[in-house]
Structure 1
C-alpha cells in the first residue's frame, strides 16, 4: 500500500478529522460542519473525510462518521441507500450504432425519471402501472414496510411500488460507458426515492424533537441523534435497513429495464461477472479497532480489501471501477464521486449553455439549460479526486460515457 496521504485536522474539544484532501479544495462551510461533527460526544475515534467532500445538511457529503451507541439521522440523510450499480457486458464499442440518440430516448421512455410523464407508461417519474417484475420485488418488501408505517404513520408514502425501478432527478443518471479496452458497461445511480425521503425527513425531525426535550447543547440542530436502546433508535435502524434494501432493489429493477432496451437495439450480448451494486449514503454496524461502531457513510463507499466499488465522475467526465485497499484509517472507505465545487444555483449562474455543450460534446445526453447544474464544471476534477485517495483504492477500470440519461 502507498504511504498514507491524509492529513489530520485537530479541533479543540473534538476528535481528530483525518482528511484525504491533497490537491482538492475544502471550502470553509464544509470545514465548519466537520468541526461541529467532531465535537459530538458520540463520534469517534475520528472522522474520515473523502476528497469529494462538500457542504451538506448538518453533515458534510463525502465523510465517514463513526458513532458509538448512537446514530445521527441527518448524517445518513434523506436519500437513504443512494448508490451505484454497474454491469460489464460482452459488447464492444464497434457494435454500438454511430448515432446513439435512439437508445437514449428509448431508455428515457422505458425508465420513469425526473418529473417526466410518458403517456401510457409513467406519470411525473412514477409508474402508471408497475411492471410485473417490480410488483414481485415489492412483495418481498411490503410486509416490513407496512409494519413500520403502523408504528410511524407519518412515513407512509402514497405508493412505494410506483417508484420501484425509477431514476428520480438531480444527480441521478443512467449511462453507457466504454472502458480502456472499449468494452461496454451499463452504469446507473439512484436511491430509495420518495419512500426513503419520507423516512429520512420524519426521523430527522423526530431526532431534533428528542434532543430538544433533553435540552442537549448541539452545535447544529441537524446533528441531533438517537441513542442505542431507545424505542425510536430501534425503529430508525429497522427503517433505514429497509430503505437501503429498497434502494438496492430499485437499482436492480432499473438495470433490468435498461438491459431490455439495449437487447432490442444491439447485437446479442452477455453480462460478465463484473457486477456491482453499492450504497454510498447509508449506515451499518461494523467493527473497527476492536470497537463496535455505527459507521455512517454520507457520500462515501465501502472499500474493504478486495471489495469492488464505483466512483463516477460528473456528466461528461471519466468514471472508475475500483477495488478497495482496506485502509483502516479511513474505516475502509473511499469517495463516492467527484464532489461539487458549485451549488446548483451558482452553477446555473456561472456555466453557460455553450460551455456545457462543449464539455459534453462526446456524450449523447441532454444539452439544455435544465441540466447545467450537473455540468462537469460544477464538480471537482475527478483525476485530482482519484489521486488524493490512491491509498484507499486501486483503479481496475476507467470508463468514459457515451450515453447519459439524466433525471
Structure 2
C-alpha cells in the first residue's frame, strides 16, 4: 500500500507542477497583452485557483479576473487572452468585458495511468492538466515556420491580444501630485480662493508617457515563413498607440494606417493590397537610408525605440547598411534587432548585413516564436535589459571577417 500511496503522491505533485506551469504561462500571455500582473497578484491568483476548483474552467476564469486585473482597461485584455489561451465553448463571442464567462465546462484531462486508484468521495481532485492550455504552452515555444494551419490560427488569436509599449520617459507636461515640486500657480490660486488665508502647498510632477515605437518588418522572400506572424504582432502594437510600422524588402512602405483596422484579418487584407514587394529581395541599407531621410531624421526616430524584424540578409552594400545603422543609433533612444534565425542551433550573426548592423544594435533578440515575441515586448518596454549585444558576439564577427 505504501508503494501505491507514493505513486499517487508523485502523480499528484506532477499534476500540480503541470497545472502551475499552465497557469504561469497564462500569466505571461496576460503580461504580453499589457496587463500589469505583479508578483503579488500572481501569488493571489494561484492561491485562489487552489482554493476553488481548478478543474472547472469558470473557476479559473473568475479567480484570474478577481486577482490579476487591476482596472477596467485590463478586463478587455483579460477576456481576449483567456479565450485565446483556454479556448471557448463553441463559437467565440463578442460580449463586453463585464459579461459573464462561458458556461462552466470541465477542462479536458489526460487519461489516468493504469493502476491508478479512484479518488475517494471526500478527497478533493488535484489540479488537472488542461490539454488545450498545455498545447498553448507548447505552442509558445514552437518555431512559427513549422506550424500547421490549426496552430497558426491559434497563434493568431494569441497575437491579437498582444500590447506593445515603449519604455517610459518623463515629458515636459506636469500633473497634480501629492509629492513633487511646488506648483506656484495652483498654490497662489488656492490662496486667493481662501481670501489670503494660509493654505497647504500644492504640488505637481512630470507626466510619464511611453516612447514612440517604430517597427521595420522585413517581408522579403527569406522572411516569408515569419512575415505573417510578425505583421500580426505589429497590428497589435499599432492598436496600443504611438507605434509606426514600415515594411522593407525592395521598397519601403508605411503601413500604419492599414494596420489600424480593429479586425486583424481586415488589417492584413488591407496591408496585402498596399505592399507591392512581398517575397522579393532585400535592400536593407538603401531602405533604411530612405526611412531616415524621409521620416526618421525629421523626428519619427528621435528618442524612439526602433525595432528591426529581419534575418539580416542583404543584397546591397553591407557598408551602406552599417553607415545607416550608425545614423539610426545616433537618433533613436534604443535600437533593437529581432532575428528569427537567432534561435537556431549553431547560429552566428555572420551574414554580411547582420554583421555590419550588429555593432550599432543595443539589443539582439530572437523572433521565431510567441515566447520570443513576448520577450521582445518586454525588451521594448525596458523590462528586460539582459539581451544587449555581448562583446563575444562582436569579437566573433571580427574573427569571421578576418577569416
TM range (shorter): under 0.3
Structure whose alpha-carbon radius of gyration is higher: 2
Structure 1 length-normalised TM: 0.25
Q: Which has the higher helix share?
A: 2
Relative contact order, CA 8 A, sep 6+: which one is greater? 1
